[in-house]
Amino acid sequence: MTMAGEEKAGTVKRFLFVNRKAPYGTIYALEALEVVLIAAAFDQDVSLAFLDDGVYQLLAGNDPAPIGMKNFSPTYRALEDYDITKLYVDRESLALRGLDTAAFIVPVSVVDRGQMAAIMAAQDVVLSF
Query: Which residues bind to other proteins, rule: CB under 8 A?
Result: 3, 6-8, 11, 13, 15, 18, 20-28, 31, 34-35, 38-39, 41-42, 44, 51-53, 56, 59-64, 66-70, 73, 96-98, 103, 113, 116-118, 120-121, 123-129
- Residue 65 CB, nearest approach to other proteins (Å): 8
- Residue 50 CB, nearest approach to other proteins (Å): 12
Comparing CB distances to other proteins, the nearer of 66 and 107 is: 66
Written as one string, the DSSP assignment of 16-75 is: EEEE-S-BTTBSHHHHHHHHHHHHHHTT-EEEEEE-GGGGGGGBS----GGGT----HHH
Helix %, strand %, coil % of the chain (to 5): 45, 20, 35
